[in-house]
Structure 1
Amino acid sequence: MNIAMVVAKYDETGSSPYLTNELADALTVRGHHVTVLYVDWEAEAEPKVKYREGQTLHVDRTMPRGKGLVAMARKWSLAPLKYLSFGQALSKRYDLAIYYSPLFVAYPLIALNRLKARRKLAVYWDFFPYHQVELGMIPRGPIEKGLHAAELHLLRQMDVIGLMSPKNRESFRRVFGWKDDSRLRLLPIWGGSERLPLREPDAQKYCVFGGQLAPGRNIEALVRAAEFLPADIELRIYGRGPLQPALEALIRERGLKNVRLMGQVSREQYQREIAGAWLGLIITDPNAKTDSFPSKVIDYFRVALPVLAITEEGSDFGSFVQETAQGGRKLHSDDPQQIAAAIAEMVATPQRSEWGRSGHAYYYAHMTADRIAEQVEEMAQAGLESAQ
């Protein structure tokens, strides 16, 4: 098939691949040609066209971010127009176009039908604009309602919408008032197919959390829980973001010697260091109105790290970890003492190694990019055959 992929995140060097890279590569390995239309929202990439076997990459960038509501509105309105600069790519016809949430970032291509494709697939992870509203990136009120209406219109142009889990599908139906289940498919989040080195846990007992340090992710609850951990268990937090000063202040205020903010490190270093951890931590906002499926579970499973999933009551992610993948335990609480007790219990139990092995096996059986590429291929082929 001739496939177009529209992205706002892509590593053009290939040294620190995003999920978009991994799916594009997996589809290429399966014999398809993938044309990637990449607009860099961080305004760092240089406009270019790059070629490699089985892939064509078109790159452009947005204007600098700016500050304030007006600057944000200008960027969200104008940045998607950059996709129209890819005239060479838009002059062709494709068997399949793959979009990622939010669809609004590519609204000119979809609303104006500028990207010609026989089938359109939306890989839908974050519900726009609700996810952004919950993180404080978009204000509530008329702007939220207008963006919701626009996103729903774009979703209706899709032939298939891939959602991460059954609860995620329920949230999608509720949030968008969606009635046409024939277009909804389960499409798990994915990661690389190559095997990473495994090793025994370090002598120093430490648990890890990796991700963007941003408000609305309940990371503060992990830091508060460290106060109640046994003295020999350390919490290491990887990543950077606007929440970092508040976390540093909380650590100083509580006098926590067992919490380390590791900052942003290379993907290789991160994978190497979490492989020696005793436990991988995942925590979500207990007040979130839409179900989530945190992607950091991929990194943990790939290095056979057992997982404690601390999630909202209505989420099925904890059940996925504990029952489906059998890669750890779930906890529905943001109480620091309960979190600390669960961490201490999991670190102490011999079952920890078994959880790690189970999560690792599940990942390579069901969640690698090549497995997902196969599913995407089947979705596209089924639609193309029925249209003939």
Structure 2
Amino acid sequence: MWRIVNEFFVGCAVLTVLLLVKKFSFVPSGAWLFDDMVLSLIDKGHRVSVAFLDLSGEHSRSVERVTDKLTVFTYPVTARSMPLKVLQVVLGNIWLLLKIRTFEIKRYDLLLTSSVASLFLPFLYLSKALIKVRVRFLLLWDFFPIHHMEIGKVKKGLASRMLYGVEAHSVKSFDGVGLMSPKNIEFLGIRI
């Protein structure tokens, strides 16, 4: 995964990277893939900003961590009901974007996030006018809402079709999409 992103920026001495994540551990030996990526980027001398939309409810308030190579801001989503949770996600997108505008870094070489792409759709739209990003890249691990329908988290019907449409639109708003296998490339081509 990192190899693909690294090859895209051959010749860049120091990258400025903005990660939009829904899971992040704040510890060097964290269990999430983005934790490893952040450490790898920092080890290579790059500067990383992390906008963490905490859907787990693990953090009851905003958490902030700033070092010379890493800036992390967390927006906790603590609502239990779906309408309030959706509202908090939208407000969290706006809050994280406004927070990022206060960072020392004013231009990012790479904005990187993973599926569910529509989770950060408000951020993506507003960021085009408010921050400078050279490349917006999506790592597509799960096909939302298809995967969620298969495991029973989303029921088939009008809501799933609407979610599918929003997700397809979100995926198309990125400059590049990384997939895990050739079959996923084939599957994505059929679906979007």
Same fold (TM over 0.5): yes
- C-alpha distance in 1 between matches for 2:78 and 2:131: 23
Instruction: Identify the residue that residue 85 of structure 2 maps to in structure 1.
Output: 75
TM-score norm. by structure 1 comes to 0.42
Q: Indicate the structure whose relative CO is greater, using CA pairs within 8 Å and at least 6 residues apart.
A: 2
- C-alpha distance in 2 between matches for 1:116 and 1:139: 38
Work out whether residues 111 and 154 of structure 1, in 8 Å CA contact, stay in contact via their aligned partners in 2. Answer: no
1:170 Cα deviation from its structure 2 partner? 1.0
Correspondent of 1:62 among 77, 88, 103: 77
1:83 Cα deviation from its structure 2 partner? 2.5
1:77 Cα deviation from its structure 2 partner? 4.8
- C-alpha distance in 1 between matches for 2:151 and 2:85: 18
What SS class does the counterpart of residue 37 from structure 1 fall into?
strand
- C-alpha distance in 2 between matches for 1:174 and 1:115: 33
The sequence identity of aligned pairs, in percent, is 27
2:63 aligned partner, one-letter code: K
2:73 aligned partner, one-letter code: H
1:153 aligned partner, one-letter code: H
Instruction: Identify the residue that residue 11 of structure 1 maps to in structure 2.
Output: 25
Distance 1:123 1:115, change over 3 A: farther
Instruction: Identify the residue that residue 98 of structure 1 maps to in structure 2.
Output: 112
Correspondent of 2:177 among 161, 176, 179: 161
1:128 aligned partner, one-letter code: F
Post-superposition Cα deviations, 1:106-151, rounded to whole Å, max 9, x if no partner, equal 1111133355311101011001111111111122111111111111
Computing the radius of gyration over CA atoms, which structure comes out larger, 1 or 2? 1
What SS class does the counterpart of residue 143 from structure 2 fall into?
coil
1:25 Cα deviation from its structure 2 partner? 1.2
Distance 1:34 1:97, change over 3 A: same
Gaps of 5+ in 2: 1-14
Instruction: Identify the residue that residue 333 of structure 1 maps to in structure 2.
Output: none
Instruction: Identify the residue that residue 331 of structure 1 maps to in structure 2.
Output: none
Correspondent of 1:152 among 168, 176, 189: 168
Correspondent of 1:89 among 87, 95, 100: 100
Instruction: Identify the residue that residue 46 of structure 2 maps to in structure 1.
Output: 32
Distance 1:11 1:97, change over 3 A: same
Work out whether residues 90 and 116 of structure 1, in 8 Å CA contact, stay in contact via their aligned partners in 2. Answer: no
Work out whether residues 24 and 30 of structure 2, in 8 Å CA contact, stay in contact via their aligned partners in 1. Answer: no
1:89 aligned partner, one-letter code: I
Instruction: Identify the residue that residue 65 of structure 2 maps to in structure 1.
Output: 50
TM-score norm. by structure 2 comes to 0.81
Matches within 5 A, 1:127-276: 127-176=143-192
1:2 Cα deviation from its structure 2 partner? 1.1
Distance 1:171 1:115, change over 3 A: farther
What SS class does the counterpart of residue 121 from structure 2 fall into?
helix
Q: Across the two proteins, how many residue pairs are aligned to each other?
A: 171
The answer to whether structure 1 residue 124 and structure 2 residue 134 are counterparts is no
- C-alpha distance in 1 between matches for 2:51 and 2:131: 10
- C-alpha distance in 1 between matches for 2:187 and 2:93: 30
- C-alpha distance in 1 between matches for 2:131 and 2:149: 29
- C-alpha distance in 2 between matches for 1:76 and 1:101: 16
1:15 Cα deviation from its structure 2 partner? 4.2
1:73 Cα deviation from its structure 2 partner? 4.5
Distance 1:79 1:169, change over 3 A: same
Instruction: Identify the residue that residue 284 of structure 1 maps to in structure 2.
Output: none
What SS class does the counterpart of residue 23 from structure 2 fall into?
coil
Post-superposition Cα deviations, 1:265-287, rounded to whole Å, max 9, x if no partner, equal xxxxxxxxxxxxxxxxxxxxxxx
Work out whether residues 121 and 162 of structure 1, in 8 Å CA contact, stay in contact via their aligned partners in 2. Answer: yes
- C-alpha distance in 1 between matches for 2:82 and 2:46: 37
- C-alpha distance in 2 between matches for 1:111 and 1:133: 27
